[in-house]
Each structure stands twice: as structure tokens, then as C-alpha cells.
């Protein structure tokens, strides 16, 4: 996505504010506060990793409210400043005329006061307020990619607030428009996804004006991410018919789509390079179509939460390997697959780099060694495997390039296995060992040889104690993600939190649970660097601790408070402070009541709250 030039936008906005000073609409002090607020909004958006105009204008609106609290700003002036900021952000090289912005903002307010709807079903209607000056010729260089994302969010039947922008897009020379739209779709794939989300997954509910704008790229190669949308077979088919050259298709979470719908889709999408059907039931006929009709496939995801669904056979893997030799990423459940199946993949898919095998009951170290040797994997995920310490030692001879290793329910692995990992997988950056009751502090200590480690997950490793924790903290300074969930012999105090803050300064994700002796002081030591994105600090976090987190963690997206004594008031303070940032909050088994949970859901409708 194109980055926005904050210096140019700020300079232009300052000039526009000077116009207001000259016209006597703003005092010097207020004008200075507004310009500084505009610059702070840009800087905060940059720190949060997004320079989308919608994010910056939202942050600037908050700055305006703070200024308003200390100065007598009228509603009309606040509206004018908000609209002027949009123009400065979206068209940083255009000259903004204060009278034009005032006229636009005023016409918008008059229309709202008269109770008129801003929506229209006519493709020739004009928006009540647009960031485009009337009759101004605009080229694709004037339209940031993020602006088209905003367009997608509002261009569906019943809420066509940007028809003027659509018409401007349509007025571009055909070749220029097509090139611009292709850039959006090929680089992000987010535009249509946002559009369809707003339209409830129904392509027939998208405005005809917008579909007209898309005509130029109907035959382009499209990345179609439909994750979680309420599409049914009919709507999916209409979409695939509209875009016949889809190369990436994600249907994970589309629960209304059936096996028959997937079959029909695969019949039209023979150029697919990426296919995600995670969670879907697939018939043998559909699985056969995947293995034989998609020669360009590089990524295939068929894993289901139901271990008995979508399992494959040795014969199917042999067909897949022979017909999909370009495979680079494969995620499957393999209940009955043996080394014969994995060897077929190793023989035919030399480009394979990422492999995830769930329910790998029958796979031995020999089969895995063959894949490691022939395919040069950089990521391997195994669940329910009989993998032994000896197997890991044999595999390590071919694992110099392995970056990620995840072992779930691999009960035969002991400290010897960890020693083999540490000595053989020398480039390892991420290691997960989950549900293992054999690994001790001795094995954990051996991992300190892995100087590249940035992620460690020891969930449900019951024999690890504080001794192992101390070794990791003091010897793995590059850690970014660290989890000790359900490690019951580990006891976290303020001392451990302080040491983590000192020795692991890059950490942004820390997870542990259970009862630990931590206070707001320890939480402050841990979080004062302001970097945390994901936190779970056990059951002793109270409202005072939440207050510290709200103050110190402006980037926090996920917070686990399960079992802690936090109250509705403490949770609300956290969410109010971080409402535009935080996405997921677990308040199960806290002091928050059912009624208070419903109030939180009403006040923060976009937040996923687990209760």
C-alpha cells in the first residue's frame, strides 16, 4: 500500500489553518494546538503500523475532542476541521480552499438536519460530501490505495456515499483505471473482501456502479479471500463467474458453502495457486479434483477441527504429488497415511517448504527424514506423532534450514530430543512443544544454544520450573513470543516480570496463567516499554493492574484476563483507552456479570469478548 507523506500533508494542513487565522476564525493558540494535533495523529498512526487515511482521521478526531474540551470550538468548526484534514491527507499535493471545504461541510450538515439520507440507488447521484473538488480531473496518482479501500467499505446498495468518487474512477482512461485496480487486487486482495463483508457476502448486493468500475479487471488474476463470509453456493458461483481467473481462494469459515458448491468452483478455477478449504467436509470426488485438476497449486490447506474429516490416503498423496509438483505449503490431516505417502510427496514436490501433518499416527522418523532431505523444509508441524528422540537426532542432520518446529501431543519426546533440536536445527527461530510431561529444565537449558530463537511455546509442559524459566530469560534476548500456559510448577512474581523486561526487551507476546504473586509494580516494570501486543498474566491481575496495562500498552490487541478478579469498571477503563486497538478480550470467570458483559458488547460491538 502506498505510504502517505506526513510532512507534505502537515505542511498543506498548516497553510489551510493559516487561512482560518487570516479570516479571523481561529486564534493563534488554538491554531497551533490543531496543527500539533494533526501531526500527532500521523505519528500515532505510524506507531500503530497503519497510515490508512481512515485511521489518521479517526485519531485526529480524538485530538480535536481534547482541544475542544479546553477551547470553545463550535460543532460547525469541528466538522470543518475534520473535513479539511481528510482533504489534506488524501490529496497532499492539492491546494485546499477553506471556502470550498466550508461549503462541503455545510452542505453535509444541512442535508443531515433536513433528515435526508446520504445513500442513493442512482449511479448518477453525487455524495453529500466528497473529498474530490467538483469537476476536478483526477488521475490514479491522486487516489491512494487506502482510499479505494474506504470506497469498498461504503459502496454497497443502501449506502453509496462515494458515488462521485466512483464516477471519477470510471472517468479515468481505461488503461489507467485497469492498471490501478489490478495493483490494488494483486498487491492486497483486501478491497473485494471488505466490499463483500459489507454486502453480507452477496455480490448481487454490491452497487452496479462499483461492479462497472471493476469491469476492467474481470480477467485479471485475483486473490479472493472470503474467510468467514456468509456466502452460499449460489453467491460463490456468481462471484467466481464474475472473476473467472481467481488464483487464490480462501473459503475457511464459509459455513454455508457445501461440497457441491466447492466442486462447481474447482471446475471453473483451474488456475488456482492457493486453496484454503479448512473446516469444510470434502467428498472423495472433491478431494480427487483437488489432487488432479490444479497443476499450478502452491499452497493447500485442508485441515479440519474434526479429526475424522478430510483425512487423506497414501494413494491420494501420490496423485497430489504427481499432479501438483509446484506445492510449497501443505496442511493436511493424515490419520491413515504411512511413510509411503510422505515419500511420494518428497519424491514429487521438491519445492515443499512448509508442512503440517495432523494425526500423524503412522508416520515414522524414516518418512520425515526423507522429506527433510529432499524438500529442504523451513517449517514442520506435527500432531499426535510417534516421533522419538532418535528420530529427531536423525532429522537434525537435514534440518540446518529449519526455522519453525511445532510438536503437539508428541509424547515420546524427552530432554534428549530437545538436545538434538538444539544441536542440529541451528537456524531455528520458533519452537512449540505442547502437551508433554517428559521435558524438564535440563532440556529447556539446552535450547539456550539456539541463538536465533524469537518464539518459544511450552504450553502444558508440566515438569518445567523456575530454573528452566530463568535459563530462557537470561539467555534468549531476542524472544518476541513466549508462552508458559499451564506450566503449573512455574511461579511468576514481580521479580520474574522485572527480569523479563530487562533481559527480553523485544518481547511483545507473553502468556502464562494460574495464580501468581504479581502486583501492579511488576506489571509496570514489564509493560513500560509500550511494546506488548498480546498479554496473559494469570489470575492475579486486578483493576489496578489493568489501569497500568491501559496506560503502558497502546498497541495491545489481545488480553487474557480469565479467572482474574477484575471488575466491569476496570475492564471498561481498559477498553475505553484502547477501543480502537484491542481486538480480543477474555473475561471468563472474572467479576464481570452477565448483564455487564452485555453492556460491554453493546458499547464495543467490534470487539471479540470471551465470557
Q: Could you write out the DSSP letters of every residue in 269-301? A: -TT-SEEE-TT----HHHHHHHHHH-TT--EEE
Q: What is the pTM of this model?
A: 0.72
**pLDDT reading at 511 higher than 60:** yes
In this prediction, residue 53 carries a pLDDT of 66
More confident site: 116 or 606: 606
In this prediction, residue 167 carries a pLDDT of 57
Three-state DSSP at 227 gives coil
Query: E strands along 182-293, which residues?
Result: 222-225, 246-250, 274-276
In this prediction, residue 226 carries a pLDDT of 85
Average per-residue pLDDT in the chain?
81
Task: State the Cα–Cα distance between residues 204 and 189, nearest whole angstrom.
Answer: 19
In this prediction, residue 116 carries a pLDDT of 43
Q: Which candidate, 427, 423, 373, 386, places its Cα nearest to that of 405? A: 427
In this prediction, residue 125 carries a pLDDT of 25
Question: Do the Cβ atoms of 420 and 396 come closer than 8 Å?
Answer: yes
In this prediction, residue 296 carries a pLDDT of 96
Helix (H) or strand (E) holding 542: none
Task: State the Cα–Cα distance between residues 205 and 199, nearest whole angstrom.
Answer: 6
Give the residue carrying C-alpha cell 470506497.
151
More confident site: 51 or 243: 243
Instruction: Give 411-462 pLDDT, tens digit per residue.
Output: 999 999 999 999 999 999 999 999 999 999 999 999 999 989 999 999 999 9
Average pLDDT over residues 166-191: 59
At 237, the pLDDT band (50, 70, 90 cuts) reads confident
Average pLDDT over residues 293-298: 96
Beta bridge pairs of residue 329:
299, 354
In this prediction, residue 291 carries a pLDDT of 95
In the 8-state DSSP scheme, what is residue 206?
B
**pLDDT reading at 283 higher than 60:** yes
Average pLDDT over residues 43-50: 71
Query: Taking the chain, what is the end-to-end CA distance rounded to the nearest angstrom?
Result: 36
Average pLDDT over residues 222-236: 83
Task: State the Cα–Cα distance between residues 255 and 237, nearest whole angstrom.
Answer: 15
Helical residues (DSSP H) of 413-491, grouped into ranges: 415-424, 441-446, 466-475
Task: State the Cα–Cα distance between residues 525 and 158, nearest whole angstrom.
Answer: 50
More confident site: 74 or 357: 357
At 187, the pLDDT band (50, 70, 90 cuts) reads very low
In this prediction, residue 214 carries a pLDDT of 67
Instruction: Give 457-478 pLDDT, tens digit per residue.
Output: 999 999 999 999 999 999 999 9
| Cα 17 versus chain centre, distance | 37
**Residue 103: CB partners within 8 Å, gap ≥ 6?**
none
Helix (H) or strand (E) holding 69: helix 53-70
Q: Which candidate, 86, 81, 83, places its Cα nearest to that of 71? A: 81
**pLDDT reading at 377 higher than 80:** yes
Rounded to 5 degrees, what are φ and ψ at 464? -75, 135
Three-state DSSP at 317 gives helix
Amino acid at each position: 500500500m502506498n505510504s502517505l507523506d506526513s510532512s507534505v500533508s502537515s505542511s498543506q494542513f498548516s497553510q489551510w489553518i493559516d487561512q482560518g487565522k487570516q479570516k479571523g476564525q481561529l486564534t493563534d493558540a488554538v491554531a497551533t494546538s490543531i496543527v500539533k494535533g494533526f501531526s500527532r495523529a500521523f505519528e500515532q498512526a505510524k506507531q500503530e503500523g497503519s497510515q490508512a487515511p481512515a485511521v489518521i482521521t479517526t485519531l485526529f478526531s480524538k485530538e480535536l475532542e481534547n482541544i475542544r474540551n479546553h477551547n470553545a470550538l463550535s460543532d460547525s468548526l469541528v466538522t470543518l476541521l475534520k473535513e479539511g484534514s481528510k482533504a489534506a491527507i488524501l490529496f497532499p499535493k492539492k491546494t485546499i480552499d477553506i471556502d470550498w471545504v466550508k461549503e462541503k461541510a455545510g452542505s453535509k450538515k444541512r442535508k443531515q438536519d433536513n433528515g435526508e439520507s446520504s445513500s442513493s440507488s442512482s449511479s448518477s447521484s453525487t455524495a453529500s460530501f466528497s473529498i474530490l473538488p467538483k469537476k476536478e480531473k483526477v488521475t490514479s496518482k491522486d487516489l491512494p490505495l487506502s482510499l479505494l479501500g474506504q470506497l469498498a467499505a461504503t459502496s454497497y446498495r443502501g449506502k453509496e456515499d462515494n458515488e462521485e468518487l466512483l464516477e471519477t474512477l470510471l472517468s479515468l482512461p481505461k488503461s489507467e483505471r485497469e492498471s490501478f485496480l489490478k495493483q490494488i487486487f494483486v498487491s492486497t486482495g483486501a478491497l473485494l473482501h471488505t466490499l463483500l463483508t459489507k454486502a453480507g457476502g452477496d455480490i448481487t448486493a454490491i452497487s452496479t456502479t462499483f461492479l462497472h468500475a471493476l469491469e476492467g479487471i474481470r480477467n485479471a488474476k485475483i486473490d479472493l479471500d472470503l474467510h468467514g463470509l456468509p456466502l452460499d453456493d449460489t453467491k460463490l458461483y456468481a462471484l467466481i463467474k464474475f472473476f473467472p481467473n481467481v488464483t487464490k481462494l480462501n473459503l475457511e469459515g464459509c459455513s454455508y458453502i457445501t461440497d457441491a458448491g466447492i466442486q462447481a468452483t474447482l471446475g471453473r478455477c483451474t488456475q488456482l495457486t492457493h486453496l484454503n478449504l479448512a473446516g469444510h467436509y470434502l467428498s472423495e470426488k472433491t478431494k480427487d479434483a483437488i489432487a488432479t485438476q490444479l497443476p499450478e497449486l502452491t499452497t493447500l490447506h485442508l485441515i479440519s477441527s474434526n479429526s475424522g474429516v478430510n483425512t487423506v490416503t497414501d494413494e491420494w498423496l501420490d496423485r497430489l504429488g504427481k499432479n501438483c509438483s509446484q506445492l510449497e505449503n501443505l496442511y493436511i490431516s493424515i490419520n491413515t497415511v504411512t511413510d509411503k505417502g510422505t515419500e511420494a510427496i518428497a519424491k514429487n514436490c521438491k519445492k515443499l517448504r512448509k508442512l503440517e501433518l495432523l494425526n500423524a499416527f503412522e508416520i515414522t522418523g524414516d518418512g520425515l527424514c526423507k522429506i527433510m532431505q529432499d524438500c529442504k523444509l523451513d517449517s514442520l508441524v506435527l500432531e499426535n506423532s510417534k516421533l522419538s528422540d532418535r528420530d529427531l537426532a536423525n532429522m537434525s542432520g537435514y534440518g540446518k534450514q529449519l526455522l519453525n518446529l511445532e510438536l503437539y501431543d508428541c509424547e515420546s519426546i524427552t530432554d534428549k530430543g530437545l538436545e538434538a533440536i538444539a544441536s542440529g536445527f541451528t537456524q531455528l527461530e520458533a519452537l512449540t512443544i505442547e502437551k508433554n510431561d517428559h521435558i524438564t529444565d535440563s532440556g529447556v537449558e539446552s535450547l539456550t544454544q539456539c541463538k536465533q530463537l524469537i518464539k518459544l511455546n511450552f504450553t502444558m509442559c508440566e515438569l518445567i520450573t523456575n530454573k528452566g524459566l530463568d535459563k530462557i530469560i537470561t539467555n534468549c534476548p531476542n524472544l518476541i513470543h513466549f508462552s508458559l500456559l499451564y506450566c503449573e510448577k512455574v511461579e511468576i512474581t514481580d521479580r520474574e516480570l522485572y527480569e523479563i523486561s530487562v533481559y527480553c526487551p523485544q518481547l511483545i507476546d507473553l502468556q502464562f496463567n494460574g495464580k501468581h504473586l504479581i502486583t501492579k509494580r511488576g506489571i509496570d516494570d514489564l509493560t513500560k516499554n509500550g511494546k506488548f501486543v498480546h498479554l496473559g498474566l494469570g489470575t492475579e491481575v486486578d483493576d489496578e493492574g489493568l489501569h497500568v496495562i491501559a496506560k503502558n500498552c497502546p498497541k495491545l490487541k489481545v488480553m487474557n484476563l480469565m479467572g482474574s478478579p477484575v471488575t466491569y469498571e476496570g475492564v471498561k477503563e481498559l477498553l475505553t483507552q484502547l477501543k480502537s486497538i484491542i481486538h480480543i478480550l477474555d473475561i471468563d470467570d472474572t467479576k464481570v456479570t452477565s448483564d455487564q458483559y452485555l453492556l460491554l458488547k453493546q458499547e464495543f460491538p467490534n470487539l471479540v469478548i470471551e465470557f
